[in-house]
Amino acid sequence: MYYGEIKNCDIANGEGVRVTLFVSGCTNRCPHCFQPQTWDFAYGQPFTAETEDRLLSLLAPDYINGLTLLGGEPFEPENQRALLPFLRRVREAYPEKNIWSFTGFTYEELLTEGSHPRCEVTDEMLSLVDVLVDGRFVEELKNIALRFRGSSNQRLIDLNATREHGEIVLLPDRKRGL
């Protein structure tokens, strides 16, 4: 797997102060994507053990709330396979921090046997994610007032509550500044 960027102290891609990893590779190719360069699976730099160690170090400070995965597409099967061992390490080192992942796939697509993004590690990867921002970006539904997403079809899914209740539970849409 390759990655395009790592952001430390990111406040735009999830609640609180976060470390954000922009992975490379995306087959969704949403029109008007804000990062089309990340569609290329070989964009950026290789995701290595040293990259993982750097990310774990960046996650250490108390003021960091957690990790966010963006893309490209974290849920491309080849990216899932590379990210899963890293997410296990994050959970082991920082059980109190949360993990967000953005995906252009819907939660339902990730759960559907035989669908493109689903592979042998999808369920475990989802089990390690606290919040899933799902759905393709749709220019006609663009809304800059939305929290942590670009178009109104995208959802902020609280995966912990979803697992607990057996149905999709969305994060409350709090107003900015409150």
pLDDT tens for 59-80 read 999 999 999 999 999 999 999 9
Q: What's the pLDDT score for residue 178?
A: 34
**CA–CA distance, 12 with 58 (Å, rounded to integer):** 17
Neighbours of 15 (CB within 10 A): 18
Structural domains of the chain sorted by starting position, each given as residue range(s) with its CATH number in brackets = 2-165 (3.20.20.70)
The DSSP call for residue 170 is B
pLDDT of residue 173: 62
Tokens read off for 98: 């949360």
What residues contact 50, with CB distance under 8 A and at least 6 apart? Answer: none
> So what's the pLDDT on residue 174?
52
Which residue stretches of the chain have pLDDT < 50?
175-178
Specify the amino acid at residue 171. L
Q: Of 100, 119, 105, which Cα lies nearest the Cα of 159?
A: 100
Structure confidence at residue 22 (pLDDT): 97
